[in-house]
Amino acid sequence: MYQDQFGIPPLTESHDQLDALGEGCCISSTFTVMRGPSIDARGIRMGDQVKIFPFVRFVTGSFSENILADIHIGHRVAINAGAYLSGEGGLCIGDDVLIAPHVRILSAGHEIHQGSPIVAHNPLTYGAISIKDGAWIGAGATVLQGVTIGKGAVVGAGAVVTRDVPDMAIVIGNPARIYGYRGERPRGWRKLLSLLPFGKK
Protein backbone atom coordinates (compact mmCIF):
# COMPACT_ATOMS: atom_id res chain seq x y z
CA MET A 1 0.00 0.00 0.00
CA TYR A 2 1.89 3.05 -1.27
CA GLN A 3 1.67 6.39 0.53
CA ASP A 4 3.90 9.42 0.22
CA GLN A 5 6.08 10.70 3.06
CA PHE A 6 3.14 12.63 4.56
CA GLY A 7 0.81 9.63 4.52
CA ILE A 8 -1.25 10.85 1.56
CA PRO A 9 -2.68 7.91 -0.45
CA PRO A 10 -1.64 7.59 -4.10
CA LEU A 11 -3.27 9.43 -6.97
CA THR A 12 -6.18 7.40 -8.31
CA GLU A 13 -7.42 7.87 -11.86
CA SER A 14 -10.28 5.37 -11.63
CA HIS A 15 -11.99 3.13 -9.09
CA ASP A 16 -14.34 0.25 -9.91
CA GLN A 17 -16.69 1.10 -7.01
CA LEU A 18 -17.17 4.76 -7.99
CA ASP A 19 -19.50 6.03 -10.72
CA ALA A 20 -17.61 9.29 -11.22
CA LEU A 21 -14.18 10.36 -10.03
CA GLY A 22 -12.74 13.83 -10.55
CA GLU A 23 -9.16 14.79 -11.27
CA GLY A 24 -6.35 14.63 -8.72
CA CYS A 25 -8.08 12.32 -6.24
CA CYS A 26 -6.06 10.24 -3.76
CA ILE A 27 -7.68 7.05 -2.46
CA SER A 28 -6.23 4.51 -0.06
CA SER A 29 -6.14 0.88 -1.18
CA THR A 30 -8.01 -0.04 2.03
CA PHE A 31 -11.06 2.08 1.09
CA THR A 32 -14.12 -0.23 0.83
CA VAL A 33 -17.65 0.13 -0.52
CA MET A 34 -20.85 -1.84 0.13
CA ARG A 35 -23.20 -1.15 -2.77
CA GLY A 36 -25.29 -2.54 -5.57
CA PRO A 37 -25.33 -1.59 -9.28
CA SER A 38 -26.14 2.06 -10.06
CA ILE A 39 -29.63 2.90 -11.29
CA ASP A 40 -31.52 6.05 -12.39
CA ALA A 41 -28.30 8.14 -12.43
CA ARG A 42 -27.82 7.47 -8.72
CA GLY A 43 -24.51 6.13 -7.45
CA ILE A 44 -21.29 7.36 -5.86
CA ARG A 45 -19.75 10.45 -7.41
CA MET A 46 -16.71 12.47 -6.35
CA GLY A 47 -15.35 15.82 -7.45
CA ASP A 48 -11.73 16.87 -7.93
CA GLN A 49 -8.90 16.54 -5.40
CA VAL A 50 -10.78 14.34 -2.94
CA LYS A 51 -8.59 12.49 -0.43
CA ILE A 52 -9.76 9.24 1.15
CA PHE A 53 -7.45 7.88 3.84
CA PRO A 54 -7.08 4.28 5.07
CA PHE A 55 -10.00 2.11 6.20
CA VAL A 56 -12.78 4.46 5.11
CA ARG A 57 -16.05 2.68 4.25
CA PHE A 58 -18.98 3.84 2.12
CA VAL A 59 -22.36 2.08 2.26
CA THR A 60 -25.32 2.57 -0.08
CA GLY A 61 -26.91 -0.86 -0.20
CA SER A 62 -29.15 -1.63 -3.18
CA PHE A 63 -29.98 1.29 -5.46
CA SER A 64 -32.83 -0.69 -7.01
CA GLU A 65 -34.50 -1.48 -3.67
CA ASN A 66 -33.95 1.98 -2.15
CA ILE A 67 -34.80 5.02 -4.28
CA LEU A 68 -33.05 7.35 -1.80
CA ALA A 69 -29.59 5.78 -1.97
CA ASP A 70 -26.96 8.18 -3.34
CA ILE A 71 -23.57 9.66 -2.40
CA HIS A 72 -22.28 12.89 -3.90
CA ILE A 73 -18.98 14.39 -2.72
CA GLY A 74 -17.75 17.79 -3.87
CA HIS A 75 -14.26 19.12 -4.61
CA ARG A 76 -11.27 19.15 -2.24
CA VAL A 77 -12.95 17.00 0.43
CA ALA A 78 -10.74 15.10 2.90
CA ILE A 79 -12.12 11.96 4.57
CA ASN A 80 -9.74 10.76 7.23
CA ALA A 81 -8.93 7.27 8.50
CA GLY A 82 -11.66 4.95 9.72
CA ALA A 83 -14.63 7.12 8.72
CA TYR A 84 -17.96 5.40 7.91
CA LEU A 85 -20.31 7.12 5.48
CA SER A 86 -23.82 5.83 4.81
CA GLY A 87 -25.57 7.04 1.69
CA GLU A 88 -28.51 4.68 2.08
CA GLY A 89 -30.81 7.62 2.78
CA GLY A 90 -28.89 10.02 0.55
CA LEU A 91 -25.65 11.87 1.35
CA CYS A 92 -24.41 15.10 -0.21
CA ILE A 93 -21.09 16.63 0.90
CA GLY A 94 -20.13 20.07 -0.43
CA ASP A 95 -16.75 21.47 -1.37
CA ASP A 96 -13.77 21.88 1.01
CA VAL A 97 -15.28 19.72 3.77
CA LEU A 98 -13.07 18.05 6.38
CA ILE A 99 -14.16 14.68 7.77
CA ALA A 100 -11.92 13.72 10.70
CA PRO A 101 -10.88 10.19 11.74
CA HIS A 102 -13.57 7.73 12.84
CA VAL A 103 -16.50 9.98 11.97
CA ARG A 104 -19.83 8.18 11.44
CA ILE A 105 -22.34 9.67 9.00
CA LEU A 106 -25.51 7.60 9.20
CA SER A 107 -28.35 8.30 6.77
CA ALA A 108 -30.19 5.09 7.73
CA GLY A 109 -31.30 3.43 10.94
CA HIS A 110 -33.77 0.85 12.26
CA GLU A 111 -37.42 1.17 13.26
CA ILE A 112 -37.60 0.45 17.00
CA HIS A 113 -41.10 1.52 18.10
CA GLN A 114 -43.26 -0.63 15.84
CA GLY A 115 -43.17 -4.14 14.49
CA SER A 116 -41.06 -6.96 15.85
CA PRO A 117 -39.35 -6.83 19.26
CA ILE A 118 -36.28 -8.06 17.36
CA VAL A 119 -34.82 -4.87 15.92
CA ALA A 120 -33.10 -6.67 13.04
CA HIS A 121 -36.53 -7.84 11.77
CA ASN A 122 -37.90 -4.29 11.47
CA PRO A 123 -37.65 -2.05 8.40
CA LEU A 124 -34.90 0.47 7.91
CA THR A 125 -35.53 4.19 8.33
CA TYR A 126 -33.93 6.80 6.09
CA GLY A 127 -33.13 10.50 6.08
CA ALA A 128 -30.88 12.43 3.71
CA ILE A 129 -27.80 14.13 5.15
CA SER A 130 -26.31 17.29 3.69
CA ILE A 131 -22.94 18.73 4.73
CA LYS A 132 -22.42 22.17 3.24
CA ASP A 133 -19.26 23.79 1.90
CA GLY A 134 -16.36 24.37 4.26
CA ALA A 135 -17.70 22.42 7.25
CA TRP A 136 -15.50 20.39 9.60
CA ILE A 137 -16.74 17.22 11.30
CA GLY A 138 -14.44 16.49 14.27
CA ALA A 139 -12.91 13.16 15.23
CA GLY A 140 -15.31 10.46 16.37
CA ALA A 141 -18.42 12.58 15.78
CA THR A 142 -21.70 10.99 14.68
CA VAL A 143 -24.16 12.66 12.31
CA LEU A 144 -27.60 11.03 12.28
CA GLN A 145 -30.14 10.72 9.49
CA GLY A 146 -32.01 13.75 8.21
CA VAL A 147 -29.45 16.31 9.42
CA THR A 148 -28.04 19.30 7.53
CA ILE A 149 -24.66 20.73 8.60
CA GLY A 150 -24.44 24.37 7.51
CA LYS A 151 -21.69 26.16 5.60
CA GLY A 152 -18.49 26.57 7.58
CA ALA A 153 -19.98 24.84 10.63
CA VAL A 154 -17.82 22.90 13.11
CA VAL A 155 -18.92 19.69 14.82
CA GLY A 156 -16.79 19.03 17.90
CA ALA A 157 -14.97 15.76 18.47
CA GLY A 158 -17.26 13.03 19.77
CA ALA A 159 -20.45 15.05 19.25
CA VAL A 160 -23.69 13.31 18.28
CA VAL A 161 -25.64 15.51 15.87
CA THR A 162 -29.38 14.86 15.92
CA ARG A 163 -30.64 18.15 14.45
CA ASP A 164 -29.64 20.72 11.85
CA VAL A 165 -26.56 22.87 12.48
CA PRO A 166 -26.69 26.51 11.26
CA ASP A 167 -24.03 28.07 9.05
CA MET A 168 -20.80 28.91 10.95
CA ALA A 169 -22.09 27.33 14.18
CA ILE A 170 -19.89 25.34 16.56
CA VAL A 171 -21.69 22.38 18.16
CA ILE A 172 -20.47 20.05 20.87
CA GLY A 173 -21.79 17.29 23.13
CA ASN A 174 -24.30 14.45 23.07
CA PRO A 175 -26.78 15.44 21.84
CA ALA A 176 -24.92 18.25 20.10
CA ARG A 177 -25.81 21.81 21.15
CA ILE A 178 -24.66 25.15 19.81
CA TYR A 179 -21.62 26.37 21.76
CA GLY A 180 -21.14 29.50 19.71
CA TYR A 181 -20.38 30.74 16.24
CA ARG A 182 -17.09 31.07 14.42
CA GLY A 183 -15.68 34.57 14.78
CA GLU A 184 -17.43 35.13 18.12
CA ARG A 185 -16.19 34.60 21.67
CA PRO A 186 -17.68 31.41 23.14
CA ARG A 187 -20.03 31.68 26.09
CA GLY A 188 -18.19 31.90 29.42
CA TRP A 189 -14.90 33.04 27.92
CA ARG A 190 -14.52 35.90 30.44
CA LYS A 191 -14.86 33.53 33.39
CA LEU A 192 -12.40 31.11 31.83
CA LEU A 193 -9.91 33.92 31.23
CA SER A 194 -10.15 35.03 34.88
CA LEU A 195 -9.14 31.55 36.04
CA LEU A 196 -5.92 31.56 34.05
CA PRO A 197 -2.72 32.95 35.65
CA PHE A 198 -2.25 35.61 33.00
CA GLY A 199 -5.88 36.68 33.35
CA LYS A 200 -5.68 37.47 37.08
CA LYS A 201 -5.26 41.05 38.22
Instruction: Write out the catalytic residue numbers.
Output: 110
- φ, ψ of residue 156 in degrees (nearest 5): -65, 155
45 closest CA partner among 30, 66, 29, 63: 63
The CA–CA distances, whole Å, from 116 to 66, 108, 119, 133 equal 21, 18, 7, 40
Rounded Cα–Cα distance for residues 150 and 125 (Å) = 23
- Asked whether 120 and 139 are in contact (CB, 8 A), the reply is no
Strand partners for 130: 92, 148
Rounded Cα–Cα distance for residues 128 and 1 (Å) = 33
H/E element holding 79?
A: strand 78-79
Rounded Cα–Cα distance for residues 117 and 11 (Å) = 47
| 164-168 CB contacts, 8 Å cutoff, 24+ apart | 167/132
